[in-house]
Amino acid sequence: MKKLLVICFIVLLLGCESEDESEKISDDNFVENKRVEQVVLDRPFIIEEILTFEKVRNYNLIKDNGSREHLIILPPSFYDSDNTYPIVYYFHGQDNTSEQIKHYQRHLYKEMLDGEIKEAVIVGINYNNKLGVSFMTNSPVTGMWQDAFFEEAVPFFEEKYRIDGNRSLFGFSVGGNVALRLGFEFPDLIDGIYILAPAIFKDEQLSDVLEDDTDGYGMAFVYNESNERLYDLPSFDGSDDDNQIIDRWKSGYMGIDQKIENYLNQDTSLSKIGIELGITDRNREIVSGTKYFVEQLSKNDIDYFYKETNNGHNINKEIFLRAITYLVND
């Protein structure tokens, strides 16, 4: 099922993710630019598409119908040309949606019209589920989300919105983890990634994950259909079977060294790896994990861009524009 919903740009929308509460966006936050106003007036440049992922609907045990609403931001010239464009898929953080990036559209258009950012299509993927987020993994319990993305979402959006073949991923927090895992596992299908405050931890933080992220994380990464809880928990008894369960728990947020090793064994590599970290992030495991990840990239001679700021755990206009610029500009 598909639905197009024209978003009225005359109304100023409120609420984007910040560290402690939703930011309120005032008139002063919007760009006063006549060209931007002319571009967006009476044109559906922000679109919401409802897609039903068959790979999710047909393969899950949590009664998920696979139907999600995804956000698309079209470039300024989309309706007046036959141009093709690069595409950036945005993965939101936990307990959020992609709605927040609506508020950066006018700023993005100003930069595109000024020639500072190459025109591109931005798609905010909604990968939430009843447990929180799906983590975009293939799981017989929560659904085949990874397959749904590459086999259903990508063909649909890229054919409909005239994509030129350049495909990048931008993720914040848990979404940063998603972008990293997909990019490092499929560099033949992804051109670049930008991960902001990514949920990547050192292996020793396993106890924190077991304490804080059980059901949704467990069903996504450590699924077991024959277990009453639908996933396995480690007993730390030193057995081979238990060590395999521990490795599966580490395969999501942790396992940095293994992710890099697997990436280096690929025949292709990403053209761009961007990483941004707010050093005042209240999630200290993200700070230590991200810094360790950057150190390991350097040790393995993997090219990357890294920026530290004084931001906490949030996304804002400047970060959004910086990520899109990095990913789509030559």
- Summarised one tens digit per residue, pLDDT across range 227-268 is 999 999 999 999 999 999 999 999 999 999 999 999 999 999
Q: Which tokens belong to 284?
A: 């200290």
Domain, as residue range, for 171: 27-209+252-328
Residue 324 inside a domain? The answer is yes
Q: Mapping DSSP to helix (H, G, I), strand (E, B) and coil, where does residue 81 land? A: coil
User: Pairing state of beta strands 272-278 and 305-309?
Assistant: parallel
Residue 217 inside a domain? The answer is no
CATH of the domain at 126: 3.40.50.1820
d(CA 45, CA 43): 6
Give residue 38's pLDDT: 54
Residue 3 inside a domain? The answer is no
Percent of the chain with pLDDT over 90: 78
Is the pLDDT score of 323 beyond 90?
A: yes
User: Pairing state of beta strands 132-133 and 128-129?
Assistant: antiparallel
Write out pLDDT tens, residues 172-197: 999 999 999 999 999 999 999 999 99
Residue 244 inside a domain? The answer is no
181 within 8 A of 133, measured Cβ to Cβ: no
User: Residue 46's Cα: distance from chain center in Å?
Assistant: 18
Give residue 68's pLDDT: 95
Cα distances from 224 to residues 42, 139, 206, 228, in angstroms, run: 50, 9, 19, 9
152's enclosing H/E stretch is none
Half-sphere exposure in the Cβ direction for 144 (13 Å, CA)? 12
What's this model's pTM, rounded to 2 decimal places?
Answer: 0.88
Number of domains in the chain: 1
Residue 154 inside a domain? The answer is yes
Give residue 99's pLDDT: 84
Backbone angles phi, psi at 49, to 5 degrees: -110, 125
Residue 239 inside a domain? The answer is no
Write out pLDDT tens, residues 24-74: 333 334 444 555 555 555 667 889 999 999 999 999 999 999 999 999 999
Q: Quick count: other Cβ atoms within 10 Å of Cβ 298?
A: 12
